[in-house]
Structures are given as structure tokens and as C-alpha cells.
Structure 1
Amino acid sequence: ILALHVFAIFPLPHTYASRPGKSTVAVKPGVQQIVLFTRGRWDKCTSVTVELSDENNVLILLGKLTPFNKCFSWELWEDGAWSNGATLTVQLEGVTLTISRKEYTPEVRCVGKRKRSRGEEEEEDKAKGQENICPNASEKATPHRRGRNSLRAGQTRLFPRKEEQSTTHTSQNPRTKAKQSKTPTQTAAVDSPSGRWGQTLCQIDPQTAILIGGQGARMQFCKDPIWKLCTEDLSWVPAETLAEGPTPEARIGHTATYDPESKRIFVFGGSKHKKWFNDVHILDTQSWRWTMVEAQGKVPPLAYHSCTLFRGELFVFGGVFPRPHPEPDGCSDSLYIFNPEMAIWYQPIVNGDKPAPRSGHSACVMQGKIFFFGGWDTPVCFNDMFLLDLCLMEFSAVQTNGSAPSPRSWHGCAVLSDSCFLVHGGYNGNDALSDTFIFNTDTSCWTSLTLPQLTSVPRAGHSIITMATACTKDSSDEQDEFSESSSQTMLIFGGGDNEGSFFSDLITMPVKDVCE
């Protein structure tokens, strides 16, 4: 028997409806926090689907409990998504479901925590400021966080201008301002992902892409972490419950790399608050099953690194790695290779001019080389370019010409053709950017583009991919076959603008229009 326990802070009603495999619980407006956890034998049950909907039956939370993830919580004061109550629905098949409920009414409305002095609040906020930190503990890895966090001397947070402005802009009515900024991004629509940054988006076939992870406003990790995008009609399908096996824990700054030969997605690294990952999760897109690799060899926990695929192996470069407190976290300049066939990590012998340590950079494989651009290592933001010759295993700096992008990190990057890749947006240490550039590997030349679809909104931490477009020609059409670029579509999703907004929009553009 699998038992599901619902723990609510502030009154939870004693009435609920149930039928075999499905139960619903009405949640009154006074509830501020709900914690769900399971006890007992899972046996043949692989997952428990949980939905939390508001009084209008609009989905607030879509989650899943598994033998590997037996608990999660939802807090009203972080999302502010309901005001008139909600309904909690739990569904599973093939087992007996027992629900127990427990109520807790704290003496203080700060959810069981004792009142703190101002000095204690400042100390706690300083500690929280260490969550999701990037290079050398001097920048925040999330584009936006409101709060009273005080900075130590010499620290610079990621997207600091928004925090500086928020004190002024919300002084007249901070409660109203905060609600405006977080409601659109944290209340997930049923048919599309919530607003986020730091997610991954990768193509698995000409009609499908998979979205994994990300983080929204107020450092909240997305409660709808996995989606499937059908490019034929640009529709989204929640995919967390579609696959069996241990789903990767929520994270940001990870990489998701698709291998077309084995038809598998490799998810590596990332971070979640103070937790860092060096695990490898594999999603088999044919069997739709997750597995976690027990790899041999050593690779440090990394976030905001790059990961590229070449001849069936994953090449991981750079990123942020944690150091023991109080030493600040640092950036890596090391190259690690993961061999999926042997399930082993190793470090190759490389020669040449290695790039400086960095994170938030981009990397793409072209013509047997990996091209690395930009990145961040506090207090420096880069716009240099290096390549790794995969035949010689030799690094070299690329001497470029033309209109080069300004220094940036957390930008979007996508391969457009055999000799061109695109760079868009990013963060320069002060602001999110909206400019676009194309680099030609044959001429080593940068070209600046004006694309109205992309320049209207600055964004960083977004995803850009190119996908094959299903093209049909009339039988009377005597034109030559379409070129590679004319049968490709570029998709841009998500990101943040350094002004408190986190996007869930999907922009599509024919690659041929970009290359013209």
C-alpha cells in the first residue's frame, strides 16, 4: 500500500473526494504551504501525478512523485497564485491509494519560524546570497531576485541594476509591484511552459524538441520542468510524466545534449541553490525512459559549462565549480570527456593556447572544431574566441575581424550552416542585451544583424536552436532543391530581461531570412 501524506500549514478541510486511483482535496484560502510525501511500498507503481488548480480550474502546479523523488512542497507566499482556494488532485493506477492529512497552525505567521532581529535577517540574507552563485562568488546565477540582501565589499551580483531599481520602484506600493512581476511567470498555463531562464532546449527529431529545467522569478525553480515542443503546430505538451525512471532533480545551468545516433539526451551538471551536480542522466527518446549513469572517472560538479557532442562523446569545458566556504567558487578552464559506451569520464591531453577560465560561454562544433565564444569570470566578461581542433586536440585563439559582439555571457548561440553560427543577446555585467551577430568560420569575420523580432526585448539565459523544416514542393516546381539553410527554422525560447520579467514566448524565424 502506497500512502500519500498531505501536510498543510493553516486549515486544510476534512472533506475530499476519491475513486480508485484518483483523489481530490479542496484547499481553502487560509493554506499557505502544502507538503506532499509518500510512505510505503511502491511495488509496480512508478509515479504519482499531482495537480494543483485554482478556483477557476487553472493549473498552478503539475508535478510527479517517484521512488526517487518522494516529496515536494508548494508555498503560497512565493508564488501568490491563488486567493480563493484551490484543488489538489492526485492520480495513479494499479495500486491502493491512502491519503492522510495533517494541519498545523503556527503561533507566528512567518510559518513556524521565530521572529528575527534585523541583524539576524541581514546575516541570513547574506547566506542566501550564496545560492546559485557564479564565478568566484561575486555574481548571482539568477537574473532577478528581490529582497534585502546586502553585499559584501567588492561583490557584484548578476543583474544588479534590477535589485538597485526595485528598492526605488516598489517603495510606494511594494506589495502590488511584487505581485505584478511574479504572477505571469510563476502561474504555469496548462498548454505552455512557465517563464524561465537557464533551461535547455534540444531537438530530437524534425518535429520535436525537449525543454528541460530552468528557473523563474524569486529564484523559484520551475515546477513544470520538462516539456515537449511539437514544431508542426508549435504546441507544447507537459512531458515530466511521459517518461519512466528517475527524473533529474530540478536544476539550472545544466546542459542537455542529443545524440542522433543513439537517440538519447544526455543531461549533465547544473546547480540548485547550494547544491551542485556532476551526475549524468540519460533520456532514451525511443523507450521514453530516464536512467542515471554510474560513471567511472572523476569530473567536478559544474554549472554554466558548455557541452558538445563529437563522434559519440561529450566534450565538457569550463563552468563554475564549488569550493569550500569561505573560499569563493571558481571558474574552470579544464576539458572533460564523457564516453557513454564505457560510462567513463577522462581528461585528454591538450596543447596550444587554452582559453582563460570562464562560465556562461557558448560552444558549437563545426568542421571538426569546437568554437568557444564569450563567457564570464568575475569581474571580467569576455568577447574573445577560441577553437579546439578535435583531430589535433589543440587549442588556439581565433583572430577575428568585422563588427564583433561586445563582451557577454549567458547569450544564445546556434549553428546556421556548415560555416556560420549566430550569437544573440546575453548579459554584459550590467544589462541584458538584444543585439545579434553571425560569425563565419571560413573568413573569421563577424557581421552585425538587425532582426526586429529579436531586438525588441533584451534577454539572457535563453535557448536558441535550429531545426529542419518539413518542406514540400509542387510537382510543377522546376527549381533546384532547397539549400540547407532554406529548410531550417530557428527557434528562440525563454530568458530574462534584467527587469524582473522571465519569458515563456517562442519566436520562430526561417534561417534563410537570418542568413540573407
Structure 2
Amino acid sequence: MDDFSVYAVLGVNDPPRRLISAAGTRQCSLAVPAHVHEVVLFSHGPWGSHPAVTVELSGDDRGAIAVGTLTRHQKCLLWDRREGEMGRNSCTLTVTLEGESLVGAVNKVRLKVTDAPSNSATAALVGEPPRKRKRGQAGEQNGHPTGQENVCPNPFSSHSSTPSRKVRGKAQRGQACLFTQGEEKTTACGPQNPRVKGKQSKTPTQTGNLDGPSGRWGQTLCPIDPQTAILIGGQGSRMNFCKDPMWKLCAEDMSWVPAETLAEGPTPEARIGHTATFDPESKRIFVFGGSKNKKWFNDVHILDTQSWRWTMVEAQGKVPPLAYHSCSLFRGELFVLGGVFPRPHPEPDGCSDALYIFNPEMAIWYQPIVNGDRPAPRSGHSACVLQGKIFMFGGWDTPVCFNDVHALDLGLMEFSAVRTSGRPPSPRSWHGCAVVSGSKFLVHGGYNGDAALSDTFIFNTENSSWSSVTGSQLSAVPRAGHSIITMAKPSKQGSAADEEQEEMSEGPAQMLLVFGGGDNEGSFFSHLTTVLVDDLLR
């Protein structure tokens, strides 16, 4: 391991400079002359058991952007100033060396890249003490669009995971036209023209008060028991990530409690498009993936709801950074399907058709062998587990929007396209989905490429039929990027009617809770809408 080193090359005529070595320098800052347009990082020597070198780019008043990761399989990275987000301004490349097999108390290294005078002949190496930071990784994956039949009303030239509203009635390149009217959005997975600046929306944004979370979309709402749910993440107006990212919902009286300071340990960085999945056996919430501006995540954070402590998993195996994927729990493992991932220019992003499984006990990612009719690549879809199968609905891969249903048999590990009857929902993504019985799931709202939707449908897995729900208060407000969960209806203590109803239904009545989302007209919601599940099924 003494031979392991990481080197940097500044420009085509610069000799390699050793920055990190197992037995030598572990901390450094590298000043880069302004005329140098490229920085190459590469490793040399044996990697040992599991070290990795992650690289992030940050600058003044800008969030960190994942540049890439050096591993034993990818031993070289290139940062191009001419194509980088920071331009020629002062910026910092943060390089983190990980792995217990590298000896020494300090296992983090920082490489600062700042503009130096153009007549500088060399770059100075200066030691810098380590500090805590958030971590994200970028990667690539094969997930190219295949033959599809449902086309969005408005075709877009590139996919966008952060929806944006049309500007002057015309979709901008790399945008999906959702939410704030007249306001340009920098997408989480699509390039933007920095010279184009949209006007700020004058439409008032609906936000929460001191007693509840602010208005947002792209968050997760995760039930942890029949009367409690945890809200994580989200983004509000003007692309601002929520400063109140974590709340606890008590369904007994529909009250919110700020939960950001309730749990100890490193909390996940602000994000949207992630998933939060609760395991009732271990009483833990697993948060995976998501994006923040142009930063992508493939990290796994775990919240133990008994000790109220966050931990970040140092997982083995490979999984790409993903956002707007689905995550389903089955027999203690997490099944991640689809999603959007960063892809190099000229195609700025791509959708996945892959299945990744995370085993919490082994802390490892793996890809199983899957047969059958695999669904086309997509993101913004929904998935739920019923009768030993994962049912997958909707989503999109620009410019195509889907309304098909696929099922993954978890015993045979085989996909099949489900032939449905009844009038199906129109093609959509970023909709809400929830299981409402042992054989039925509900789909509500979403985005069809042009507008937010308010309709509601129920799918019966026993006969593969769709039915629409009319007359429900769910149809009052179009929304997309919202959260839908089911929880037990609070019963009045000592109520004979409630006790009789519970006996007849073999359990407490269930209610559907809808939170957040946007209406494609500049409003982001913070109120809760509740509907009895029995009323929807009737």
C-alpha cells in the first residue's frame, strides 16, 4: 500500500505532481494558473481493500458539484475549466481519500484550485487541515431509450429532473416546463444556458407557517408507525432548497414537529428526487440518491427511529447516482428501479432501466439476473409491492411519457408487461402512488409534459383493471411532485361507533394523506389533504 498515490496534471505540458501517498502527503492545496484549462487526476499503485477518492467542485456562493470518483476501476478524472460550471472564477476541488486500509489518522485530502496570475510558472502545494463535509459521487450507466408508444404533448430535446415552467409560452432546451411561471430553473439533470436569465415569478408561493413545513415538491413522506410519518427534503420556490428539511407528522392530531435537531449524527445533505423507505423490522429509514442542483447522490443514509441517530453507509458494490427512481422494500432488501442519472455532453442525462438491490445486513449493492419483458428506461415513475410483485407505473424518458404497467415477480425475478382493462390514466410522471388494499394501489395527479394533473385512479392487481375515482376532494387541486401515504385514522377514545367499525373491518380505518407538490402555476403546497380510503374504494 506504500506505493499508492494520487497525481494531478495541469494542462498538456505539465508533468504529473504527486498529491497524495499512503506514506507521504495526505493534505494539500493546489493553485492553478488562470491560463490552465484542464486538471487531470489519476491514481497509481495498488488500491488495497476498498479505498476511493471522491472529487467535488465548489466556489463562492455555489453548492458543491460532484466531479467524479477515483476507484480501482476508474483511475483517472478530467476537469475542464472551459466546460465546468465555475468558469474562470475562484473555485475549489475537494478530494477525499477513503478506506481503512490506508494507514494514518488523517484520511481526507483537499485540493484547492484557484485562479493564479497567468504568468505563474508553477503551482504551489500547501497543506490544509481536514474538515467535515457532505459527500456525493457521480457515475455513468447504460440506459438508452428504447421503443415507446406514448408521447408527451410537448416533446423536449433533453430530460429534466427538476421541473420548470414555460418561459413566454416556449419550452427552453433542457427544461421540462413545470411549476414557477416566468421563472427560469436550473435543472438537476439538464444543462442550462448561463446567459439566459428568466424573470422572477410574481405568483405568491404557498408556504407553511411556524406550525408546519414550508411549501415544497420532490420531498419524501415516510410512515414509521400507524400514527407517525417523517418528512425529508424538498425544494420550494425559486429553486430554493427547504431550510426546514425534516419534520415529524403526528397523525393523531395532524400536528407537525420540527425534526431536524431530534436526531444525532450526520444528516443527509439537502436534496430532491430521493427515496425514503422504512423497514418495520429494523425500525430504520433508508434514504437513497436524489440530486441538488447539478450534484448527484448515490449515498445511503440510515435513520434509526428508536435511537434517533443518523448514519451513512459505506456500502460495497456499485450503484450509479440516481434521482427520481423508485425504491421498494421486500424481505429486508431495497429494490431500486429506473431513475435519471448524469451523462456526459452532448446527451446531458439519461434514464435507467436497471434494477439495483441493496442488502442492509451485508451493506452491499448488487444487480440480480432479471428475465422477461423489461420496461423501457424512465424516471419519475411509481412502484409498489403487492402479492409478491413490484408494480411499476408511468414515468418518462424525454420526449416520451408513459402510462404502462409492468410487474416484477420477486420470486421468479421476471418482468412482464401487464395487459390492463378499463380506462387507464393518461401518460404522466411525478405522480403520487399508494397501496390502498391487499390488491389495489392508487395513482393521483402528476405531470404530463404540459400541466399538473388532479385526477385519481385505482388499479386492481387481481384482474389488472383500472377504475377512475370521481367526486373526491383529491381532484380539487392539480399537483405534481407530491407525497401520498396511508395511515390509520385517529379514533375518538371510547367511541362505540369507531370500535364497531374496527371490528367489522378487522382493524382501524385507513386514511390517505397527501402533502406538498406544485400546481405548475407557481404555487407550492404545504397543507395536508386527508381522505378515507374506504370512501375512495367505494
TM range (shorter): 0.5 to 0.7
Q: How many residues align structurally?
A: 376
Q: Deviations over 1:387-427 (max 9, x none)?
A: 00000000000000011100000000000000111000000
What is the Cα deviation at residue 474 of structure 1? 5.2
What is the Cα deviation at residue 190 of structure 1? 1.4
2:168 matches 1:158: no
2:307 matches 1:284: no
Q: Could you tell me how far apart the structure 1 residues matched to 2:365 and 2:228 are?
A: 30
Q: Could you tell me how far apart the structure 2 residues matched to 1:225 and 1:478 are?
A: 40
What is the Cα deviation at residue 180 of structure 1? 4.5
* 8 Å CA contact 1:144, 1:499 repeated in 2: no
Report the equivalent of 2:385.
Answer: 365
Q: 1:515 to 1:493 in 2, by over 3 A?
A: same
2:481 matches 1:461: yes
Candidates 282, 302, 315, aligned match of 2:322 = 302
Q: Deviations over 1:335-369 (max 9, x none)?
A: 00000000000000000000000000000000100
- Is there any run of 5+ residues in structure 1 with no aligned partner, and where? 1-70, 75-134, 167-173
Q: 1:462 to 1:374 in 2, by over 3 A?
A: same
Moved over 6 A (4+): 71-74, 146-153, 475-480
Candidates 313, 331, 334, aligned match of 1:293 = 313
Report the equivalent of 1:118.
Answer: none
Candidates 259, 271, 284, aligned match of 1:239 = 259
Report the equivalent of 2:525.
Answer: 503
SS in 2 for 1:221: coil
What is the Cα deviation at residue 206 of structure 1? 1.4
SS in 2 for 1:140: coil
SS in 1 for 2:215: coil
Candidates 397, 413, 419, aligned match of 2:439 = 419
Q: Could you tell me how far apart the structure 2 residues matched to 1:263 and 1:474 are?
A: 31
Q: Could you tell me how far apart the structure 1 residues matched to 2:405 and 2:430 are?
A: 15
Amino acid paired to 2:479? R
What is the Cα deviation at residue 148 of structure 1? 9.5
Report the equivalent of 2:406.
Answer: 386
Q: Could you tell me how far apart the structure 1 residues matched to 2:181 and 2:534 are?
A: 36
Report the equivalent of 1:336.
Answer: 356
Q: Could you tell me how far apart the structure 2 residues matched to 1:344 and 1:217 are?
A: 37
* 8 Å CA contact 2:159, 2:350 repeated in 1: no
Report the equivalent of 2:13.
Answer: none
1:426-465 map, 5 Å: 426-465=446-485
Report the equivalent of 1:215.
Answer: 235
Q: Deviations over 1:97-155 (max 9, x none)?
A: xxxxxxxxxxxxxxxxxxxxxxxxxxxxxxxxxxxxxx9972433344698999766x5
Amino acid paired to 2:294? K
Higher strand share: 1
Q: Could you tell me how far apart the structure 1 residues matched to 2:336 and 2:465 are?
A: 26
Candidates 497, 503, 516, aligned match of 1:494 = 516
Report the equivalent of 1:262.
Answer: 282
- Is there any run of 5+ residues in structure 2 with no aligned partner, and where? 1-58, 63-144, 146-155, 186-197
SS in 2 for 1:330: strand
Report the equivalent of 1:353.
Answer: 373
Q: 1:473 to 1:378 in 2, by over 3 A?
A: same
Q: 1:309 to 1:165 in 2, by over 3 A?
A: closer
Amino acid paired to 1:405? P
Q: Could you tell me how far apart the structure 1 residues matched to 2:501 and 2:249 are?
A: 32
What is the Cα deviation at residue 469 of structure 1? 2.8
SS in 1 for 2:204: helix
